[in-house]
Structures are given as structure tokens and as C-alpha cells.
Chain A
Amino acid sequence: MAMFLLLLIIGLTGLLAFILGPIKVLRNIISLIGAIGGLLYFVFKIRPGQAYALNIKIYNVHFGTGMSALSIFFGIILLGLFLIFLIASFHEDNDGAYYMFSFFSLLGALGVLFAKDLISFFFFFETMSLFSFLIVLKGNGETSHRSAFKYVMWSAFGAYAFLLGTFLKVNYTHSVMITDISYLGGNIKLWILILLLTPFMVKTALMPFHLWAPGAYTDSKDTYTVFLSGGLSKIGVFGYFIALFNVFSQIAVLYPWLLKVFAYIGAITASLAGIYAFMQDDAKKLLAYSSISQLGYVAVGFGVYSHFSVVAALFHALGHAVFESLLFLVVAGVYYRTKTHDLRKMGGLIKKMPLSFIGLLFGIIATSGIPPTIGFPSKWLLYEAIILKNDLFLVSLVFFASITAFLYSYKLIHSIFLGKLHKEHEHIKEAPFGYGFGIVVLLIPLFVLGTNPGIVVKPIDYIVRFYLKPDLAYNLTNMTTPLGHVNFPAIGITMTLLFTLSFIIYLIFGKSYRAAQEDNYTATEWIDKDFGLHYGGEFYGFMRKAFGKPLTWSFEKILNACLKVVSFLGEIARGFYMGDARVYLFYIILFFAIIVYIMGGKL
């Protein structure tokens, strides 16, 4: 019952927040209590193995819920991020409905984690998609309607595929529960698997299905994007696990090529999204593509399908939740003060918003996978897992993707915080408490798990060990694979010591005095104080030439071409129905004439 009580708490808080909508303080307190209560209840009351079957027998269909260790792993990520989102969102101008929708989307996501049969899985998945769609609809961008529409259409596409897969499965196995289908004969099991995987590929924005993500991430309210990108996309990762391990446990034996294709799609997603990311001039769009790129690594981890590649994938999912949320949160805080997402209009904010700068700095370090942050252990594991699977081209592709991360990271931090401070931003203050709180809270796991990955690897290993042969030895701080060995805190300690050493060198020699930002080398050119010297727009403009034409290719263009074909055919079909009575009369006469002709005058 514990799970239902949790869902009840979340749902009721959402309703209360809606009813108390106009009374801002009370609404905020209630929603805060609800979210904290939910998190505490989840941590202390819910244990793996708790199960509950709802025996509503409709046509012999059983409904069931249950907790696995994996659900708890993702549940804590979701509830934690939701709390961070909630505290930051109090600074925004939101109404009661906004909070209701966000609580309901959380409810849907938690329900997905609890569901043990495909029907309730579908129901909760749709709840989540619907309410997150409504929130994107309430976003502040001018294009938010269009983005929300795109989002809901892609979600619906995934949902119908899932529903079709469910019906096929019920038809062949006579069970709606999440059970193994790999014993089925013929190729039907492959189709079921692909259909069941589709909504998760949409949710994690894997490449042909990513078109909704940049729009939805950009146009939803800034603080909700933290939850949408960091939290709700994890449901897709959860779904990968369910589909590849619980629904189809023999995939490595029966369809190894499918896994290979999946891994390559993930790697291509990671690379291409990385390239698109560093060509963006909008901070949130850049982060949206970065998010897509990072989730590509997760798909690679599942596609490689060895014990520690899946460990790496789940660890990276957690890492993504930490650093991507951190980045989105900082950008939200910057937007709160500057009212812009345009990277060309910002710059030099480091002097005004130091805490946000530190948050973004370590966020990008983790995104790039530089030790000793949370981004490194998963990438290290992933590389070694791929080499052990003898796929050197895949590992090269993944490495290429990780280089693109350096490019977009630097563009982000430079355009917002470094460079020249704009005149209109001279009186800006640090982002308010809600944002700062989230930044500080997220920095803790970023370092703790980067140097002590064992804390999380242990539970993940217990989950994965059940399905795949373990070949990873680890303790709190060390990891050993058949290829190599790393001591994570040693890297951190070395860097800290050497930093201290370099810092001492820096301190003992000479004094430095501060120069004004205009006081710099311009090759004897006289520069006016208001002259825009910030190099923000067209940051990697020359890469357009390097990539040439392929950069302008996009899936959207292919879809638009399809749309043109369909509307052309539709036009032709519509041509028959002109709405003129004489034309219809002509058709009727023609019809009879043809019948007479066929009958050969036998009437």
C-alpha cells in the first residue's frame, strides 16, 4: 500500500496547490511540504520487493504494482530533482494550475516506476506526458504552443507504438504483466520489442525521435526544464532497462545485431547532437542538444550490453540528472536576472554572479567528463566496455562525441560569464536563494560521486548482476575492469595538491593589479567604451565551412518532405470532391456508365 499512499500524497498536494492557487505563500508551503514529505516517505518507507496486485478482473486482466531496486534508484533521482525544481520555481510567476500539472507529471513518472503490468505502465506514462505537455504549453516563449504541440505529437506516436506492442504481447502471451517474451516463435517478438522500445527512445530523444526535445526544453518554464531534462528523461532510461532485460531477456543471443544498431544510433545521436549543440546561439537550446547528446551515451551503454556497460549507462543517467540539471538551473537563474537566453546578449557576468559561475563551471567540467567529477567514472567504464566488445569504431565515435562536449561547454560558459560585461547588466545581482540552493545541493553529489563512485555503483551492480555476468571489481573508490584499473580519489587528490603548488607559485611572485575590462590590447585601435567587444555570436561560425553542406541536413527536412508528399496526395484526393452538385452528378453517371460497360449491355 505504501506506493499508493505516496501517489496519493503527491496527487493531493497537486490538487491543494491548485485550490490554494491565488494565496501564494500558503500554496508554496503546501507544495513544499508535499514534495519533502514525498521524498522522505519514499526514502524511509518504500523498499524493494513491496508488491501489490489490484485484482480487478476485466477480461482476465490483472493489474499489479511492485517495487524493484531500479525503481527506487530512479525514484530518488525524480523526487530529489523535483524538490530542487520546486524551490527554484517559487521565484517565478506561476499559478496554481502550473503546480498541479507539475505534481501530476511527477505522479505519472513515479507510477511508471511502480507499474508491473503494461496497461498501468501505459496509463502512468501517458499521465506524465500529458501533464508535462500542459506545462510546456504554459511556457513563456512565443513558440511554446508549437513546441508543446510537437512534444505531444511525438509522445503520442511513442504511446501508440507502445499500446500496439502491448496488444500484440497480450495476443501472443495472454498476459499484460511485464514478462519475458523471448520464448515466442517467429519474428513477432522482435516487432513487440521494437514497438515497446519506441516511447522510451522518444522520451530520451534518441536521434530520429529527438525533434520535440529542443523546442520543448527551450520553451518550457526555465525551472521546469530542470525537471523535464534531468528527471523525466530518466523514465526513458528506466524503460530501456525494462524492455531490454525484463521483456526480452535473451536479446543478446537472439538479436545481437539489434543491440549493435541501438549502440550505433546512440553514438551517432551523441555526436550529431554535440555538433548541433555548439552551433546554437540560445543557451537553453544548446543545453537541450547537450542533454540529447548525453543521453546518447546511455543508449550506447545499453547497446553494448555487457555488465559494466549497463552499469556505466545507469551511472551516466544519474550523472546526467546531476550535471544537466545544474546547467539548466544556472541558466534559469541567469534568465531570472537578465531576462534573456540569447548567448550574444550576455557576457562578463562572473563578477556579478559568482555562485552561478561556480555552478556552471563544475557543471561543464562534469559534462565534459573531466575527473574528478561525476561525469568521468561512467565515461571511463563505457570506453573500456566498448573496447572489450571489440568495437573500435564505436569507441571512436563516442570519443568524438565527448570532444564536442568541450566545444559547447566552453561556448556556454564564455558567452554567459566571461568576456565583456554589457552595459545594461552592470547592476545585476546574484541569482536568488532558490537557484543558489539547488546549485549548492547539486554540487555535492557531483564531487562526492565523482571521487567515490562506489556509493552508487554498488546498488546498480546488484540490479545488473541479476541479468548479466559480472566482470567489474570495485570498492568505494576503486574500479577494476579486465582492461584496467582506476583509483578515483587519487586523481582528485593529485589535482588538488598540484593546484595548491601552482597557486603557491602564483602567490609568491609579484603583485597584480586589476585592470578595467576596456583596458586591453587592441592593436593601437582606439575603442569606445560602449563598443561591443564580446565575441558571442557565430562563436564556432567557421565550423560551418568545415562541415560544409552536411550541417544543413536534418531529420525535420525529411519529415517536411514527407509532409509535402502527403499533402500533395491529399490535394489530388480532395480534387474529386469539389463541392459542386454537377460534378457529383457527373461521377454518378460515370459510375453507372462503367457498370454498364463492364456488364456488357446485359442489363
Chain B
Amino acid sequence: MSILYFFLYLLLVTVIGLLYMGVARKVTAHIQNRYGPPIYQPILDVLKLFGKRHTVTHGVMHSLGPVIAYTGIASTLLFLPLGNHTPLLHFKGDLFVVLYLLVVGPLGMALGAGESSNPNATIAMARALSLMLGYEIIFFMATLPVFYHYHTASIYKVIQAQGVFPHWGAIIFPISFLAALFALQGMMGEKPFEIAIAPHEIASGPMVEYGGKYLGLLQLWHAVGIIVETGLLVDIFFGPQNIIWFFIGTFIVFYVVILVNAVMPRFRIEQAVRFYWGIPLLLAILGILQVYIWR
């Protein structure tokens, strides 16, 4: 029974993630004065990709890369509470587990993309990892005050401790929340931090040699990744929500991200990293100082 539950859980999040991707395409199209594909288009894309009979591979690691990437993000999902809902695998000390499991996905993708021996893919991975020096530290520093304030390292406990509307983390720690929003834009890899994908420059980066079922798995990875990354922000900064409000919350955050994405040009990699070490870092430090002064 629990195995069935687990499959439904994974399926639900994957489908919702794919729908979010569809919404993103639609919204971007409307902003650019186009009509855009239907919202369910990414689902059709994934089905088509998995339906391909022959796929090119460059070796064992190249094939396993997307598999590891999906493994990593799906494991993260199981440790992340969806709102008020207890996560399927629940420890109290799971912030660091989630942060480290989040990296498994990019690492798997990096290994797979690396074996394709296409320089575009490797350049993209080098950029993606360098960008982590920017956003990952900002995101970590922005969430620290919340965890420190409630004296726990558990995401679930932080959700419970926040309480209803006026006692949300985002309202108690507005500066940190702002820094986390900056970090989220980079974490999702949307413009102006779309440096790793950069279709016009390095041919979709890591995906350049992937097709068929590999690309399908990577799409699923991206879909779950959207929910996990926005969900982490919602969990930490928006208090206890039931699962419907949780998805509405992630949708709102995602909507903000794609609105910024639609109107922004792309940074160069060193500009992006430097940007993160400027104002967002200052905001994150101010957030930490706030919690120190508060105590």
C-alpha cells in the first residue's frame, strides 16, 4: 500500500511539475505577443521522447547520467515536506540532507554530459557548478536565520513552528526572504542566470547530446526540480499550508521566477557570480545580523 502511495506521490509531483513548465511556456509566449503551445504540451513532449525507438548514447556514464539525475531529485522530494504534510521519509535534521541531495541531480547530469565529449556540454557544466558558488551560499545563508530562530535543523519542525499568516518566516525575516528569492532565480537556472543552458550560445549546454528517453528523463528531472526548489522556499518562508495551498504557493513563486525570466537578458558567468556576491550577499548577511540582534 505504501509503495502504491509512493508511486502516486511521485507521479503527482512529476505531472504538476510538467504542467508548471507548460504554464511557463504559455506565459512567456504571451509576454512576447505569441500564442504559445497548450499547457499540457510538456507532457506530450515527454511521452513522445519516451516513445522514440532508437536513441544515441556515448557510453555507460552518458546513459546513467539522466538516471542518476532523476534519482537525486526524487530522493530529495521524499525528504521534503509538501506543506503541512509529513514527508514520506521524515527525519528531524533534514535541511542538510536536502541541500546535499539536491546536488546529486546536477552531479549526475554533469557526469553524463561530460562523457558526451562535446565541449558545449562541459562548458555548460563548468558554468553551472561555478554559478553554485553564487546562489547556493546565498540560499543557505538566507535560510539560516529561520532555522536558527526556531532552533532546529528540520524543515518539518520549522513549518510547524511558524504558525498561521502573520507569523510566517517571510514576514519575520523579510530581508532573508528577499535574498532567498534572488538565490532561487539562479537555482532554477532561469534568466538572467540561464548561463548553463544558453541555447543560442552553447546549444542547450548539457542537453546537447541527449535525445529520446534520456532527454525525457531530464525533462522529468526538471519537472520535479521545479516543485522541490520552489517548495523548499515555500516550506521555509510560508508556514504550515495544506497540500493544495502548498501547490498554489509554489505556483506563485514559480510565476514570479518566470516573469523575471521573460523580461531579462542573460548575464555572463562571471557577472552572475559577481552579482550574487554583491547585493544578495549583503542581504543575506543583514538577515543573519537581524536574527542576532533579535535574540
Contacts and interface: CB of A to CB of B under 8 A. Distances in A.
Interface of A: 347-348, 350-351, 357, 361, 365, 368-371, 376, 379-380, 383-384, 387, 390, 392-393, 395-396, 399-400, 403-404, 406-407, 410-411, 413-414, 418-421, 480-481, 483-487, 490-491, 494-495, 498-499, 501-503, 505-506, 509-515, 517, 519-523, 533-535, 539-540, 542-543, 545-546
Contact of B213 (A369, A484, A506): A506
A350 B59 contact: yes
B8 to A, nearest CB: 14
Interface of B: 50-61, 63, 66-68, 70-72, 74-75, 78-79, 89, 91-97, 100-101, 103-104, 107, 110-111, 114-120, 122-123, 125-127, 129-130, 132-133, 136-137, 140-141, 144-145, 147-148, 151-154, 203, 208-209, 212-213, 216-217, 268-270, 273-274, 284-285, 288, 291-292
Given A499-B67, A511-B53, A486 B58 contact: no
A540 B145 CA distance: 32
26 contacts: A368-B103, A383-B96, A387-B144, A387-B148, A392-B291, A396-B144, A403-B136, A403-B137, A414-B122, A414-B125, A418-B117, A483-B151, A484-B95, A491-B75, A491-B101, A495-B104, A499-B68, A502-B70, A505-B217, A509-B51, A511-B54, A512-B57, A515-B57, A520-B208, A521-B203, A546-B269
A520 B120 CA distance: 10
Nearest to A421: B117
Contacts of A533: 117-119
B159 to A, nearest CB: 14
Contact of A483 (B93, B117, B203): B93
A407 B126 CA distance: 8
A512 B63 contact: yes
Contacts of A419: 114-115, 117, 122
Top 10 closest pairs, chain A to chain B, by CB: A484-B93, A418-B114, A546-B270, A484-B153, A545-B270, A420-B117, A535-B122, A546-B273, A483-B153, A485-B92
A386 B43 CA distance: 45
A416 to B, nearest CB: 11
Given A393-B288, A512-B57, A543 B145 contact: no
Given A395-B144, A410-B110, A520-B209, A512 B56 contact: yes
Nearest to A418: B114
A505 B288 CA distance: 44
A400 B133 contact: yes
Nearest to A545: B270
Contacts of B66: 506
A370 B107 contact: yes
B145 A392 contact: yes
A542 B153 contact: no
Contact of A380 (B93, B107, B145): B93
A418 B129 contact: no
A376 B100 CA distance: 9
A542 B270 contact: yes
A494 B89 contact: yes
B112 to A, nearest CB: 9
Given A396-B137, A480-B93, 7 more contacts: A371-B100, A392-B148, A399-B137, A494-B78, A510-B212, A517-B117, A535-B119
Contact of A484 (B60, B63, B152): B152
Nearest to A548: B274
Contacts of A542: 127, 130, 268-270
Q: B51, B74, B147: which has the most chain A beta carbons within 10 Å?
A: B74
Contacts of B100: 369-371, 376, 379
A374 to B, nearest CB: 13
A407 B136 CA distance: 13
Given A376-B100, A484-B152, A485-B93, A414 B57 contact: no
B138 to A, nearest CB: 10
B86 to A, nearest CB: 14
Contacts of A371: 97, 100-101
A512 B118 contact: no
A510 B130 contact: no
Given A396-B140, A535-B119, A513 B54 contact: yes
Given A515-B58, A517-B117, A379 B107 contact: no
Contact of B132 (A406, A494, A517): A406
A483 B70 CA distance: 30
Contacts of A543: 130, 133, 270, 273
A314 to B, nearest CB: 19
A533 B6 CA distance: 44
B111 A413 contact: yes
A407 B148 contact: no
B63 A506 contact: yes
A384 B93 contact: yes
B79 to A, nearest CB: 8
B274 A546 contact: yes
A522 B119 CA distance: 9
A598 to B, nearest CB: 64
Contact of B140 (A370, A399, A483, A502): A399
A421 B114 CA distance: 12
A425 to B, nearest CB: 13
A347 B119 CA distance: 12
B71 A483 contact: no
A502 B74 contact: yes
B216 A509 contact: yes
Contacts of A350: 59-61, 115
A519 B62 CA distance: 14
B97 A511 contact: no
Nearest to A399: B140
A350 B115 CA distance: 8
Contact of B74 (A357, A485, A498, A515): A498
A505 B212 CA distance: 12
B122 A484 contact: no
B119 to A, nearest CB: 4
Contacts of A407: 129-130, 132-133
Best-surrounded residue of B78, B114, B284 (most CB of chain A within 10 A): B114
B97 A486 contact: yes
Contact of A521 (B72, B148, B209, B288): B209
Nearest to A506: B67
Nearest to B104: A370
B114 to A, nearest CB: 3
A109 to B, nearest CB: 33
A539 B91 CA distance: 38
